[in-house]
Chains A and B, each alone.
Chain A
Amino acid sequence: MTQELKTILGSLKNPNAQWFSIRKMSEVMTTQVVRNGHPEANHIDDSTGYFIEAFVDGALGYAATSRSQTAALQQALDRATRNAQLTASLPVARLEREKVRPDAKGEYLGHQQKPFETVNMADIAEILTEASATARRSEKVVKSVAMASYGTRTTEIVSTSGAHTFQKISLCTGDIEAVAQDGGVIQKRTLGGLRGFSKQGGAELLDRNFFLQAAERVGEQALELLWAKECPTETLPLVVAADQMMLQIHESIGHPLELDRILGDERNYAGWSFVKPEDFGALQYGSPLLNVTFDPTVPEEFASYGFDEVGDTAKKEYLIQNGKLLRGLGGLESQSRLGLPGVANQRSSAWNRPPIDRMANINVEPGNSSFQDIISSIEDGIYVESNRSWSIDDYRNKFQFGCEFGKRIKNGELTETLRNPNYRGVTQSFWKNLTHVGTADTFAVYGTPYCGKGEPNQSVRVGHASPVCAFKDIEVFGGTQS
């Protein structure tokens, strides 16, 4: 907690707004990239700014500024107030300030064992250089990249009604990439393309052994894919590794359950949803094996926090239980507009954007099938890891995913490696075809720094954790390489 914002709050003149708040957000991230043994980037991003919300006659208005002088902040408050007045003249919904901006007070310090100040960029550059070299298992690996991005985000909010929250989280993302080429065949294997390693935590995550072991596996598998068989075009059982499940959850559960999409706010950009307000509490979304939670309380997961940015206290909620849809992903504004329960999820991408409904950590809860049980139950099927391509329609029905690495399952065993494994389907029938949910030992935590949505556009960090899962009757297909 600091006094700076309270002092600013007290210094601003406010003749016309009935309420206002100031959010100061500071994000300091270091990004280092090494390609083929040479530095590609050694970059520090230090972004700090102020976001002011003003409330007038049932409407909020916003203004953001990178300037810190009182005169600039006063201008921002005046602009926010004018925007609130304009919105109040033709609001999509009239809001009650006390309901949508509660007077939260508290502090949240995210999970971290070792501060980033304990490492220096030269040390990390050395680890990444070594990892880049390790991923280059042969001359056929034409490109090997190791990267890490790490730092902290601090968010402090004060309001004229006494709200004061302070949150600081530590973030770390990393990736290894190997592109292998043999004649006309080119294959790429990664640690997950940032989605494979995006967590909250400190410098303990920048572990040399982790990067080197990952680099060795990624490099070896890139080569293995060069000579692998093409994924067949068939309808088969599909076993999805946790690092691909994360994107399947994201696109076909997370986004369609966002209440602002259901309200139509996103129809011009991210899209609408096949889910209707009346579906909550009624719709059988998937197989009875499917249990999905919104859980911003998992310490190491990428989108954990104590409060969302409107002051709602973060807590775990079931979105889908035993396959039935229970609750949507909507913050206090969407809950007020729809009259439905939601979650604490109004967040912004940066200091210059308003908070909107976002996923935080959306997780599939572990089930009862061991990995061995899942594989041995399948006579002929496909196992896939690591997303490389994704696409879904604007109602979140018809999807298509491409993965980096596959295995054929024959007679209950993992057999030959497959390249270019793709699959497609329709959301509800896909989740109803869920046949096995892996046990906790197959459960893994992932995330992504890039979830895009909103107008103006906002890209936020989200987390996803899942066990390995199996689905029946899935349309799989390969690429066009010879």
Chain B
Amino acid sequence: MTGSLPTTHDKFEKSCELLFNQLKPEEHLTVNLTGEEVDYLRFNKAQIRQATHVQDACLSLEFIKDKRSATAAVELHDLPAQSQDLEKLLTRLRSLAAQLPEDPYAVLPEKGESSHEKFEGRLPTQEEFVDSVLRTHAELDVVGIQQSGTSYRGVANSTGLRHWFETDGFATDYSIFHPSNGKAVKGTFAGKEWRPEEVSAKMNLHREVLGQLNREAIRLKPGHYRTYMEPAATADMIGMFSYRGVSEAAIRQGESALLSLFNRKKSLSDKFSLVEDFSAGLVPRFNESGELAPEQLSIIAQGQPQHTLISPRTAKEHNLVSNGATHGEGLRAAHMGAGKLVAQDALKALGTGVYISNLHYLNWSDVQGARVTGMTRYACMWVENGEFVAPISDMRFDESLFDLFGHKLESCTSATEHIPNVSSYGGRQLGGCSVPGVLVNDFTLTL
């Protein structure tokens, strides 16, 4: 992709060599790289809105000496032209750290197992995507974004540890709107191998759902409803566990919504299990310090707490053992356990109630009660006797995770679905989560 220009990995290695060679005795340095070479193609009404190519590589430095630390992040431009600037940055961090107060929780770099992973894929060209999705389905009001390219993550420290993770990948995140009533079907494609036949098959399925959205929307009254959530909706709920939920630091600082779970004052349903599972290899296992997380870490098993996510810094502060969590102590590869409900039987099992395809804009409404509020979105339907009746008007919910995944959880589907992380703040995010659909009783709709 870069012709004769050096690769991102080459530049990372050269930067590290340059920086580590400048270190003096008793000085410690950890270097992280986050980068990408990605095409973003934004579309609306099956036409192109904005096509952007991004080449980005950001280098982060953590300097420590005598328990004093300072950090910096800088875009990696071109070497050797930037060499002097990197040396100056290190000199600045050295000078700053000396002036700053001691940081008792600064974690010195450690030796460890190094890794190098590179995943190549078969990505669609921009033209191929435009042809197979936008032109082929031009009669559909499809809106969203296609992200496609190579992502880079690297860590190196002054003990000699190195990790490199480079992966090709694409993610198409889209909605198809009904021509007249504002309702929509939501979908994603993601992976390393673009298969046009899978795209066609999925688009045909969407057409069927669009047909079900023809009927006039039903306005539900606030109340408690038997509800089935598709995996995409479950994924949004599981996302809240990463929002200061399973973080050891948040628990210690009184800010975790799941404090009473991890203090063993409350539990969840024995049908609920949550694992941090890196076995799919979609995201790097290493954290910013270069520690490798275990391939699998049980967070909650049959409703009982097992492990929190502990970063090296939190471990040092509380005299614990780190489990390779990132600084933010959020889930990077969440996997919620499956159950026994066959997905094809979900409507029948629901009987009469609300079928939720997607949720929107979740936030804690009461942290200590683990209460979450948010909205229904897209193709949510009213179901009677196991049959779709009509779409519902958007409803607000307000529900505690202790109830939703506690006594209200009736069953989970027997297969999980991978919901890709399509976020691109700062750059294309990797991975996603694997979750089942869930059948719950008395789901609380408030407005």
- Residues of A participating in the B interface, judged by any CB pair closer than 8 Å: 38-39, 41-49, 59-69, 71-72, 75-76, 79-80, 83-84, 86-87, 89-92, 120-122, 125, 129, 142-143, 179, 181, 184-186, 188, 263-265, 267-269, 271-272, 350, 352-354, 356, 389-395, 397-398, 400, 402, 420, 422, 424, 426, 452, 455-459, 475, 479-481
Contact = CB atoms under 8 A, between A and B. Distances in A.
Interface in B264-286: none
B342 interface: no
Nearest to A61: B51
A268 B70 contact: no
Contacts of B72: 43-46
A63 B78 contact: no
B269 to A, nearest CB: 19
Interface stretch (B172-180, B189-197, B329-337, B405-413): B172-180
A44 B96 CA distance: 10
B270 to A, nearest CB: 23
B76 A393 contact: no
B159 to A, nearest CB: 22
Contacts of A122: 96, 99-100
A143 B255 contact: yes
Interface string B128-160: 001000110000000111010000000000000
B5 interface: yes
Contacts of A129: 101
Nearest to B62: A43
Nearest to B364: A389
B424 interface: yes
B344 interface: no
B253 A91 contact: no
A424 B446 contact: yes
Contacts of A61: 51-52
B366 interface: yes
Interface string B407-432: 00000000000000001111010000
Contacts of A90: 47-48, 130, 134-135
A434 to B, nearest CB: 19
Contacts of A354: 50, 52
Contacts of B9: none
10 contacts: A46-B74, A47-B74, A121-B96, A186-B259, A390-B363, A393-B360, A400-B398, A422-B365, A422-B366, A459-B425
A121 B100 contact: yes
A446 B374 CA distance: 25
A64 B52 CA distance: 7
A321 B33 CA distance: 49
B351 interface: no
Contact of B44 (A263, A391, A479): A263
A456 B36 CA distance: 13
A72 B182 contact: no
Considering residues A42, A75, A86, A129, which has the most beta carbons from chain B within 10 angstroms of its beta carbon? A42
Kindly list the 10 A-B residue pairs having the minimum CB-CB distance in the complex, ordered from nearest. Answer: A480-B369, A83-B51, A455-B145, A268-B144, A456-B424, A479-B366, A122-B99, A66-B75, A62-B52, A92-B47
Nearest to A72: B5
B53 A63 contact: yes
A480 B396 contact: no
A387 to B, nearest CB: 10
Q: Which bucket holds chain B's interface residue count?
A: 35 or more
B81 A69 contact: yes
A41 B71 contact: yes
A393 B375 contact: yes
Given A38-B103, A64-B55, A265-B42, A87 B48 contact: yes
Given A90-B130, A353-B52, A480 B99 contact: no
B360 A92 contact: no
B287 interface: no
A121 B71 CA distance: 12
Contact of B373 (A39, A49, A75, A389): A389
A71 B5 contact: yes
Nearest to B96: A121
B45 interface: yes
Contacts of B366: 402, 420, 422, 479-481
A43 B57 CA distance: 18
A30 B43 CA distance: 36
Contacts of A481: 366, 368-369
B69 A42 contact: yes
A277 to B, nearest CB: 15
Given A86-B48, A268-B173, A69 B361 contact: no
Contacts of B199: none
B289 to A, nearest CB: 15
B220 interface: no
Contact of A456 (B3, B40, B47): B40
B368 A480 contact: yes
Given A39-B100, A424-B446, A64 B398 contact: no
A225 to B, nearest CB: 12
Given A66-B57, A389-B363, A125 B75 contact: no
Given A395-B394, A455-B145, A66 B126 contact: no
B53 A62 contact: yes
B361 A393 contact: yes
B127 to A, nearest CB: 7
Given A92-B44, A268-B143, A455 B77 contact: no
Nearest to A63: B53
B112 interface: no
B57 A271 contact: no
A455 B425 contact: no
Considering residues A41, A179, A452, A457, which has the most beta carbons from chain B within 10 angstroms of its beta carbon? A457
B104 interface: yes
Interface string B348-377: 000000000000111111111101011101
Given A75-B5, A76-B55, 12 more contacts: A41-B71, A44-B70, A59-B48, A64-B52, A68-B78, A84-B51, A391-B373, A398-B395, A400-B365, A422-B366, A456-B147, A457-B424
A211 B75 CA distance: 32
A79 B447 contact: no
Nearest to A265: B44
A391 B398 CA distance: 11
Contact of B130 (A86, A402, A455, A458): A86
Considering residues B2, B253, B364, B423, which has the most beta carbons from chain A within 10 angstroms of its beta carbon? B253
